Amino acid sequence: MEPTHSLHPRARQNDILIEHVGDETIVYDGERHQAHSLNRSASIVWQHSDGEHSIPQLADVLGTELGIEPDGSLVEYAIDRLANAHLLEGEATESVSRRDAVRRLTLAGVAVVGLPIVLSMVAPTEAMAASGNQNGQGQNTGGGQNGQ
């Protein structure tokens, strides 16, 4: 998987809102109406994905920030998760294989504490929010004859 070492991922900057909460970063994708919660590892990789840093350079930054040995597999896994969430620009990210990155993480015995995590959820559009009665958990209660 040589091509990944020449990758210089770039974080998407258009049509997104960013909020830092502690060590995590919350990213709202206005184009897809999705919110993403990036843990500390994923946040570090995403924030430093400026199109200038290579995978090994991002691994050095991540290792320094987390106080761990630099590990390109962690960065490749983060890039895969970020690309899957549509938070990176360009086609270069498609050459990162999730299966290969996870396999290398397993072989390296990477501590779970450093594993980059991107949690995503769809944010309701205005039309969805106005389309029925919802209980306190956001579930539609129907409001029709069958729902009463």
Q: How do residues 71-129 score in pLDDT, each as one tens digit?
A: 888 898 899 889 989 999 975 444 455 556 555 555 555 544 456 677 787 776 666 55
Strand ranges (E), 32-82: 34-38
- The span from the CA of 82 to the CA of 33, in Å, is 16
- pLDDT, the chain, mean: 76
Pairing of strands 16-21, 24-29: antiparallel
pLDDT at 7 over 60: yes
Q: What is the pLDDT of residue 86?
A: 93
* pTM score of the predicted model: 0.68
Closest by CA position to 117, among listed 105, 133, 134: 105
Better pLDDT: 139 or 90: 90
Total residues belonging to the chain: 148
Half-sphere exposure of 16 (CA within 13 A, CB side): 20
Largest CA distance in the chain: 61
Q: What is the sign, positive or negative, of the torsion defined by CA atoms of 111, 112, 113, 118?
A: positive
Q: What is the pLDDT of residue 4?
A: 44
Q: What is the pLDDT of residue 112?
A: 47
Q: What is the pLDDT of residue 82?
A: 93
